[in-house]
Amino acid sequence: MSIEPNSNSSVPSSEDKITEEQLEEQLEDILESLNGHQVDGEFQKTNEKTVTAALNTISTAKLQKNRAIAPSNSSFTGFSSKISPVTSRGLIATVIAIAITLLGVSLNNSIIGIFGILLTLMLSGAILLPWLTVVVREWLTPQQRSLMIAISGLVVAIVGILKFAGLRINWDASGTLADWFGAFGQILIAVIAVYIAWRQYVISKDLTIQQNLLTVQQNNITQQQTIDTYFQGISDLVLDEEGLLEDWPQERLLAAGRTAAILSSVDSNGKAKIIRFLSRSKLLTPLKRDGHLGRAILDGTGGYAEDRLSGVRVIDLGVMLANTDLSDTDLRWTDLSEANLVRSNLSKCDLVKANLARSILYKANLNSVDLKSTRFFYGSIKKASPRSRIYPPNYETGEYTGAVVEDADFSDVQRMSESLRCYCCSWGGEETRETIPGGCEGIPNRLKEERDKELRKNSPVVVSET
């Protein structure tokens, strides 16, 4: 059967192509002539727009035609490209075999009919065999093909054993062969149904895992973009045109507000990135100010002078990090002095060279934290004491410059110095002393002693009458 060409086909003919090319050339010539001659401005612009629009229309039509041709071409390159074409002689022989079979059936001649049937089966099988081979290769994996062959061999072996071993089955007692095959088919269908359900579960589970991973990646990308925008916004807010720090009171308030907002919307790693950025930029450090405009003073070495006693921070964290999860993050060389870290989770943090002086670590979790060279106080261990609401800090002697470590958990901390261990044992209270590696034997509980003094000082004096 020959296939007639469709008169409504979207494939353009050669005449159409020539017409389009000629029209395109004519339009380009017109556009060049317009550019080469002095014509009225408005008229020239109008013609140029018209010609350009026509060129765009032609290119769009060509693109749509090419897209319409692509699917029709690809639909014929499936199995047909993998199957060798059948010769005309084979098709003619198959038709003759079919005619012989029909002739034998109509004449009720068994010889002619059987000959035609065998010939038809042989020729049809020769035509269908390449197609079946391609289908099996496309639909079944090598493992599945091996499994089918193994199952077929097992069935044939069982039949052979029953045949040649002389085993006889009492079909009257065990039921007919049809019943056996029916029961086996039902069991096989149930097994196949369970297998299909299990495969659907596995596929849906894999898809869910992939979707979750994509969601996490997208969230990380979005969070990083938000953090980068915050960095740029803070830099533009507190720096002048020459790159010097210029933080007026309202700008400091806006910077603190932005920081509080973003810290509440990012995860622990995002919080750590923000803290590292602010620390390394000296925006969390109290800076020395002049007495008139309150601008930061340079220290003469390319940086800004610090003033721990009366300096002003560009951004004061305050209670932004209270009850916050910062576990397993990198907080090295960060300035968290005077930060409120009440009930914060700092477990497995890297706090190397971090400054936690005068911070509030009440009931904070510092399990498995690296405390190498971490500052908890200023001055000497003999005079150092936690911050006070009443008395100002003395950064020379260390009085009231220390962190509040009451009821903090220091279990399994790494590289804690001896002076820091003595400070935490002295001012941590009973719960903290039980968690400090190495114990607190021989170190007095100065927190309890100070509280007992306050109780005795505030308790009324009872005078006995004699």
**Predicted local confidence at residue 459, as pLDDT:** 67
Does any domain span residue 222?
no
Residues 92 and 155 in one domain: yes
Six-digit token string for 428: 């941590």
Residues 18 and 60 in one domain: yes
- Asked if the model's pLDDT at residue 174 lies above 70, the reply is no
Residues 103 and 156 in one domain: yes
Does any domain span residue 256?
no
Q: Which of 70, 98, 116 is the last residue of a domain?
A: 70
Does any domain span residue 142?
yes
Does any domain span residue 63?
yes
Closest CA to 24 of 47, 52, 2, 48: 52
Q: How many folded domains does the chain comprise? A: 2
Does any domain span residue 5?
no
**Predicted local confidence at residue 12, as pLDDT:** 43
CB 358 within 8 A of CB 300: no
Q: What is the pLDDT of residues 95-150, one digit of tens each?
A: 888 888 888 888 888 888 888 888 888 888 888 888 888 877 877 788 877 888 88
d(CA 364, CA 322): 9
Residues 93 and 66 in one domain: no
- Asked if the model's pLDDT at residue 217 lies above 50, the reply is yes
**Predicted local confidence at residue 110, as pLDDT:** 83
User: What is the value of pTM for the model shown?
Assistant: 0.60
Which structural domain range is residue 21 located in? 14-70
CB 384 within 8 A of CB 398: yes
d(CA 340, CA 384): 19
Q: How confident is the model over 31-43, as a mean pLDDT?
A: 48
- Asked if the model's pLDDT at residue 365 lies above 50, the reply is yes
Residues 29 and 92 in one domain: no
Does any domain span residue 111?
yes
Q: Which of 164, 179, 198 is the last residue of a domain?
A: 164
Residues 96 and 160 in one domain: yes
Does any domain span residue 123?
yes
CB 222 within 8 A of CB 267: no
**Predicted local confidence at residue 18, as pLDDT:** 46
Q: What is the pLDDT of residues 244-285, one digit of tens each?
A: 888 888 999 999 999 999 999 999 999 999 999 999 999 999
Q: How far does Cα 408 stand from its chain's mean position?
A: 34
Residues 93 and 123 in one domain: yes
Cα end-to-end distance, the chain, whole Å? 135
Which alpha helices (DSSP H) does 239-343 contain, by range? 249-263, 268-280
Residues 57 and 96 in one domain: no
Residues 64 and 92 in one domain: no
d(CA 376, CA 355): 7
Residues 155 and 96 in one domain: yes
Residues 154 and 93 in one domain: yes
Q: Which of 108, 143, 164 is the last residue of a domain?
A: 164
- Asked if the model's pLDDT at residue 40 lies above 50, the reply is no
Does any domain span residue 51?
yes
Residues 52 and 98 in one domain: no
